[in-house]
């Protein structure tokens, strides 16, 4: 397994907000009633230029496997197809992750470790229609270095490889928003990526539904991107209902909105792994 997994002396970081401190105290007192939910890209997996090369941090799965048996449930909430997240994360067949759920496509798909199967509705017809128009739209933009990611139930345009990534992102946002609207889709901006996907699902909706399903009485959510803001809002709403919630930002200078609202900011996937390990060690102790 390597030498990175024996870190029982790692301190548990202290949240900077009263709500975060209250949530962490509840999680430590009632782990069996706690849901730990995490984004994938940028949270469990480092951001890379080519999304198809994204893989979970080397110590992420061991950290999750150490923590999962000590809490009520662990879920990965991602915009990726569930099967892709499972494959890139290496989540299948891992001892300790027997009850892991991966909520893919913002909750439209679900993979359960118990069955190893993905459940999902029929694809939205607007995705195929928008996909057909994308090549012409991108060619007319005059921008080079753009990359289209096929996601099955969604399609995304990445600008990270462009000569001016932020400029390309801003220039394409309006035309892609109009394309999405024409086909009954919504545009989801992220870190140098613009995703066209069906309406009605976001990470907040997915997270709230899973909290209700599991009956969790405390929740930890970790994310890094604009797509995680609905999940942050969902946790804030749950707090108002008396469910303590700890908001963790997998720190990035690219997305200050998340860091500003987080109870705890950690330095990327490596920091998330340290947090999971420290939490598992504290609960074991």
Using alpha carbons only, how large is the chain's radius of gyration in Å?
Answer: 19
Among 39, 41, 59, 228, the active-site one is 39
Go through 225-254 and write b for each residue having 16 or more CB atoms within 10 A of its CB, e for each that does not.
Answer: bbbbbbbbbbbeebbeeebbbbbbbbbbeb
Exposed/middle/buried for residue 141 (C-beta within 10 Å: 0-12, 13-18, 19+) = middle
Q: CA-to-CA distance for 169 and 226, rounded, in angstroms?
A: 14
Distance, CA of 105 to CA of 79 (rounded, Å): 4
Q: Considering Cα of 235, then 236, then 242, then 245, what sign does the dihedral take? A: positive
| Known catalytic residue at 22 | no
C-alpha dist (Å) from residue 161 to 16, 139, 168: 36, 16, 10
Strand order in the sheet with 186-189: 147-150, 155-158, 193-197, 186-189
User: What region, left, alpha or beta, does residue 142 occupy, with left being phi > 0 and alpha being psi -120 to 50 degrees?
Assistant: left
Which amino acids are annotated catalytic?
Answer: 39
């Amino acid at each position: 397994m390597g030498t990175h997994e024996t870190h029982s002396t790692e301190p548990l970081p202290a949240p900077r907000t009263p709500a975060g401190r209250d949530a962490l105290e509840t999680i430590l007192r009632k782990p069996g009633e706690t849901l730990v939910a995490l984004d994938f890209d940028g949270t469990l997996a480092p951001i890379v230029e080519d999304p198809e090369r994204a893989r979970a941090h080397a110590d992420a799965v061991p950290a999750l496997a150490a923590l999962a048996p000590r809490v009520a449930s662990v879920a990965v909430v991602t915009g990726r197809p569930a099967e892709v997240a499972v494959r890139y994360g290496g989540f299948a067949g891992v001892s300790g992750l027997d009850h892991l759920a991966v909520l893919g496509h913002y909750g439209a798909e679900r993979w359960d470790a118990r069955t190893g199967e993905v459940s999902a509705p029929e694809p939205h017809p607007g995705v195929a229609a928008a996909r057909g128009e994308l090549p012409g739209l991108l060619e007319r933009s005059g921008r080079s270095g753009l990359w289209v990611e096929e996601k099955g139930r969604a399609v995304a345009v990445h600008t990270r490889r462009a000569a001016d990534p932020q400029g390309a992102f801003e220039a394409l946002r309006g035309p892609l928003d109009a394309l999405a609207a024409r086909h009954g889709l919504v545009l989801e901006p992220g870190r140098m990526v613009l995703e066209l996907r069906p309406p009605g699902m976001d990470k907040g909706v997915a997270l709230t539904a899973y909290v209700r399903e599991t009956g969790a009485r405390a929740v930890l959510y970790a994310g890094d991107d604009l797509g995680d803001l609905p999940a942050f809002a969902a946790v804030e709403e749950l707090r108002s209902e008396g469910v303590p919630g700890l908001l963790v930002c997998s720190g990035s200078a690219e997305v200050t909105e998340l860091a500003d609202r987080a109870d705890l900011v950690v330095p990327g996937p490596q920091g998330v792994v340290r947090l999971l390990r420290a939490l598992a060690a504290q609960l074991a102790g």
